[in-house]
């Protein structure tokens, strides 16, 4: 079921989302200050490529003041808009019964894209 969900996800926008996150990550990595944020874009992009069967969780013990500061900067620079975009798409997809699995994937992406520092994908 995860394979079928990922294939349909890729066809209907998942690959485009992956490319957008990769381009953003490369642009952020052009500056020294943007490198940590670029790596988070890569993390979100690879998660957005094949989200079915994967989950996001908090990393126990590794979150500290630096990841909190980076999350606050991330939210103000653009994380809020990325998370709101995934929220809107998730709500639109969950209107129909057949779109609920894809809406759930957008909700997972929303939680990761709002505060990506201190989280891992498994």
Domain boundaries, the chain: 2-121
Per-residue pLDDT of the chain (122 residues), as tens digits, is: 899 999 999 999 899 999 999 999 999 999 999 999 999 999 999 999 999 999 999 887 766 788 889 999 999 988 999 999 999 999 999 999 999 999 999 999 999 999 999 898 99
Contact 105, 47 (CB under 8 A): no
pLDDT score of 62:
64
Contact 44, 116 (CB under 8 A): yes
pLDDT score of 53:
93
pLDDT score of 108:
94
Longest Cα–Cα distance of the chain, Å, equals 45
pLDDT score of 40:
95
The whole-model pTM stands at 0.90
Q: What is the DSSP letter of 86?
A: H
């Amino acid at each position: 079921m995860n394979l079928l969900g990922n294939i349909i996800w890729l066809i209907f926008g998942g690959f485009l989302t992956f490319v957008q996150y990769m381009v953003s990550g490369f642009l952020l990595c052009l500056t020294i200050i943007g490198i940590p944020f670029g790596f988070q874009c890569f993390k979100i992009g690879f998660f957005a490529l094949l989200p079915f069967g994967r989950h996001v969780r908090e990393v126990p013990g590794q979150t500290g003041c630096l990841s909190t500061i980076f999350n606050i900067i991330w939210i103000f620079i653009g994380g809020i808009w990325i998370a709101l975009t995934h929220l809107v798409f998730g709500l639109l997809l969950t209107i129909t019964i057949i779109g609920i699995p894809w809406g759930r994937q957008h909700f997972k992406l929303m939680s990761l894209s709002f505060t990506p520092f201190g989280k891992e994908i498994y």
